[in-house]
Amino acid sequence: MIQIKLRRINIKSRGAIFLAMIACAQFYWLYFINTIPLEISLVDALGSSLLLYGLFFFIKYARSFNFSSRADYVVMIFQNIVFALLWIYFCRYALIDLFATQKNYVALWQTSFFMRGFVGWVILFCFSAINFLANQLNQTRASIIEEQQAQQLRKEAELYKLRQQLQPHFLFNSLNSINALIGRDPKNARNMIQQLSDYLRSTLRKEDDTFITFREELSDLKLYLAIEQVRFGHRLVIEEYIEIDCDEIQIPPFLLQPLVENAIKYGLYGTIGSVHIVIKVIRKKDALVFSITNPYDLDAVATKGTGFGLESIRRRLYLLFARNDLLKIEQKVQPLESTRSDESSPLQTFMATIAIPIRNNI
């Protein structure tokens, strides 16, 4: 997702700084160039600038123009002409009345009246235009923030929905297995209930997390595999090859369990022999690569599914990383070793690989 950041423009503080610079230039013009007395130059420069600053406030909080037509531009131009005339006439008569005995100062006002009025109009017009631009930028910024928040809420809602759709599938299978074990193997049934309780408690604690460490995800995955080991006994053989420097890498929670569940489903359902499932985790330069390989019987009726598990993983990866190439599926002709009862059935290996980008803060 592309995020646009616009700084909020504080037009009042920038206007004050600008007028302070104008006041300094005006003081220099009066005192050093025209040799007006110091106190008169200070009062003239500061007084006229403060009046302009008051007009700045009026312009900022008066009716804002939408500039949907040329009439709005014309209104703004004439509005600033009126403000400039009011400002220059007030300054002239107030200052001349205050310093009427200073002939040089009064004469300077007579010769510079129109120049001062024009400069005042230019300053007011520029402020009006900048104020409009600042309002537009601030409105755009607010709109972008609202849109980004709405997109984030939609994304989080979809991620939550995907997680919730995956959980019942595993839970129902576990409860069915517990029900089957209660009569013939109460001890293993109790163990499975405890393991299921530990797994659900762990997943609930991470329900609101966007990322967790690989160590935490692997711990949950081992709880899940312990449950499946009770279900399938010696038929399920898990081989793990995990690099030791992957523990602190941040990954999305509940991302690996659906892949393992999918491998168990397609590897063991419809068979009576033992099946080897191989899990590999390696760290590459910019990604944590998780792959799982399982045998795949093309004739096994029980393995027919909707593909929702893999599609949900692909969708979650896209929502989190904005990429569609992080999940790869590969089928190979060479089978894994297996003691299946029906050796005439076509057997392939099915490998799913996830490349999880390593976050910059890790």
- Give the number of other CB atoms < 10 A from CB of residue 321: 15
Residues 292-304 pLDDT 10s: 998 876 665 444 5
Q: Cα(112)–Cα(116) distance, rounded to whole angstroms?
A: 6
pLDDT of 42 higher than 80: yes
Per-residue pLDDT for 47 more than 70? yes
Mean pLDDT over residues 296-325, rounded? 71
Percent of the chain with pLDDT over 70: 79
What mean pLDDT is predicted for residues 266-272? 73
Q: State which H helix or E strand residue 239 sits in.
A: strand 236-242
Residue 342 has pLDDT above 70, yes or no: no
Average pLDDT, the chain: 80
Average pLDDT over residues 93-113: 90
- pLDDT for 63: 58
How many beta carbons lie within 10 A of that of residue 331, not counting itself? 10
When mean pLDDT is compared over 139-153, 155-169, 294-308, the highest value belongs to 139-153
Q: Domains, the chain, ranges and CATH?
A: 11-146 (no CATH), 185-357 (3.30.565.10)
- Closest by Cα among 344, 351, 352, 236 to 299: 344
CB 137 within 8 A of CB 14: no
Q: Phi then psi for 213, rounded to 5 degrees?
A: -75, 155
pLDDT tens digits along 173-229 = 778 878 878 878 888 888 888 888 887 787 777 666 778 899 988 988 888 888 888
pLDDT of residue 334: 54
Highest mean pLDDT among 2-6, 53-57, 83-87, 297-301: 83-87
Separation of alpha carbons 192 and 180, rounded Å: 11
DSSP assignment of 269-294: TT--S-EEEEEEEEE-SSEEEEEEEE
Provide mean pLDDT across the span 137-154.
80
